Structure 1
Amino acid sequence: MDYKDYYKVLGLEKSATPEQIKKAYRKLARQHHPDVNPNDKGAEQKFKEINEANEVLSDPEKRKKYDQFGADWQRYQQQPGGGAGRGGQPGGGFDWSQYTQGQGGGFGGGGSPFGEGEDFSDFFGSLFGNMGGGGGGRTSRPGAGPDYQAELELSLEEAYQGGPRTITVNGKNLRLTIAPGVADGQTIRLRDQGGPGRNGGPNGALLITFRIRPDARYARTGDDLTQDVPVSIYKALLGGEQTVETLSGSVKIKIKPETANGTRLRLRGKGFPVYKKEGQFGDLYLRLNLTLPQNLTEPEKELIQQLAALRPEA
C-alpha cells in the first residue's frame, strides 16, 4: 500500500488553514474537472486524487488521524521489512491495527467521482474504512459541487450601458444584470449556479468572464477612452466649433485657431463608467487629426499659391 501525500496533491503545506484547503481544492477541481478536460484520463485520475485529498483534509477528524498516521508511517518505513512500495508487512511489533479498518476495506468499488459517491483509493479505505458513512465505502459527507465557467461577449456600448442579459450554460438559460463599466477579461461569480453538490452539499458557482469586442471608434484604457476626431485644415487654422459623438451623446467642442495636428483635448466625465461606482466616469481624450482638402479646383490652387507666397518660410 503506497502512502498518499494529500497535502502535496493540493499543493499545500501541513500548516494550511481550512480556508486555504478550500481555496486550493476549488482551484484544482476546476482545472482538472472532466467537463473541462473531456476524454483526458490523466485529468480524470487527477480529479479523483484532488477529491480524495479534500475529503480527508477538509474534515477535522480525518485530518487529525491522517496527520498522526503520516508520522507513524515514517517510523514504519525505517523498520526491517517495512517500507511503502515493497509489499512488506509492518514489523517490529508495530501496532498497525489502530489505523487499518480490516482487509478489503478499500474504496475501489467502482464508484464515480461525478455521482453521489467517490471512487477512493485503497490507501483511503485502509485508513478510514467506513468513517465516511454510506455502503460500499462511499462517503455520505456533503461536498460542494464543481464550479462552471462561461464567457459572455459584449460590444463596447453594451459594456458601457450594462443591463439585463441572458446566457445559456449547460442548456439552462440564466438572466443576469450587468453593472455598467465591466472590463475585458473581468470575471464575475454567481453563487449556486454551478454543478450540483454531493450528498446534499451546496451547488458550485458559475464564473462568467466578459469579452469586450474591439471598437473602431474608441480605444479604452481602464475607465478612459481615446477617440480620433478629423478636423479640416481650415478650422484648425482659423478656429471654430465642431460636434463630436460620444457614448453619452453629442458634444460641441471649441477648436482654437492655429491648432496643431495631433492636439489632444480632454473631456472630463465623458469616458467609461467606473464599475459599481454610480455616477463616476473616466475621461474622454480627443485626438485631433487634420485633414487635407482633396480634388482642388483651379481657383483654390491659386489662392493656396497666394498664401504660400505670403509665407515663403513655409
Structure 2
Amino acid sequence: MSHSLDITALPSLDLSLLDGSPQQRRKFLDELRHAARDVGFFYLTGHGIDGNLLRQVQDHARQFFALPEDEKAAVAMINSPHFRGYNRAASELTRGQPDLREQFDLGAERPALQLDQDSPGWARLQGPNQWPAALPQLKPLLLDWQQAMTRMALRLLRAFAQALALPEGAFDALYGDKPNEHIKLIRYPGRARGESNQGVGAHKDSGFLSFLLQDQQAGLQVEIEEGRWIDASPRENSLVVNIGELLELATNGYLRATVHRVQSPPAGSERLSIAFFLGARLDAVVPLYPLPAELLREARGPASDPDNPLFRDVGWNYLKGRLRSHPDVARRFYADALVPKALSA
C-alpha cells in the first residue's frame, strides 16, 4: 500500500489488460484496487473510446461555447426542471461559492415521467435534454459518446467488483436499464486581475464513477492528503477517473472519494473539459457490500461531509446535490416541501 507522502502523480492504468493474459488481468485488478483506495484518482488508457470520437466531442464543445450568448441562453438550465442546459460562468455554486466556468449539462435522453402527488421529488429529474438549434449535429454526437462511455464505465465497474473479490455483476442491479448518465461540457475562461481562481471549488463527486476528458490546459488538482495538492496534468489519449461518494459509501470507505478542485487558467487562456458521470438508477438504494475480511480491515469508513451528508437513496442524494448547486432552478421548480427534505440530514 502506498503512503500518501510517496504519491506525487496520479497512477496510470491500462484497461485493455482486462483482455490480456490471466497474469495481466490480475495485475490490472490489483493496481485498480490500490489506485482507488490509496488515491481515488487515476489516468485510464486502453479505454477503447475511439480517438476520433473524443476529438469530435471536444471540437463540438468548442463550437457550442462559441455560439452567441442569446443562442446559449435559449437552452439555459433555468428552463429545465431536469437540471439540463446551459449556465453562464459563476452560475453554479460549490460549497456556496460561485465557480468561474460556463457549462452545458446533459443527461440520458428519456421522456419526463408522469407524476402525481405521491411521486418522489427526484422523479422530476428524468426528462429530455435541451439542444441548441444552431448545432443540430451536437445531439447525435453526444448521445453516441454517452452510450460509448456508459459501456466502458460499466465494464470498469465490473472490474472494480472483481478487484474487491465480489461477484463480477455485484453492482449491476444498481444500474438496470436506466443508469444516471450525466455529461458536462465545461469552459473555464482565463481569470482577470484580482478575480477568484475558483474554476471549481474543492469538493467530492457524489455518484459512483467520474471520467474527465481534458484539453492541454492544466488546472485539475487532487488533494492527496489534507492541505497537499497534486496536479492531474493533461495526458494524450487518457481519461482521468475518480471515485464518487456513493461508491465510497458502498464499500465502507475502502474505495476513496477524494477532494479535488480546478484552478482557473491565467488571463489570455482558457480550459476545456468534458466530464462524464456514471450514477446508479434514481430509484436505487445503495447497499453496504460484504468485502472479504482482509479488505474490510483496511476500510476506513466513508468520510461524509457533516454539512452535506450522504443518502443511500440515490435519487434523493442526486437531487440534493442539484438543489445546492443550482439554487435558481431549485427556486423555480422545487419551491415546495421537497426542498427541506432533500437538504436535511
Bigger radius of gyration: 1
Q: Structures share a fold, TM > 0.5?
A: no
TM range (shorter): under 0.3
TM-score by length of 1: 0.21
TM-score by length of 2: 0.20
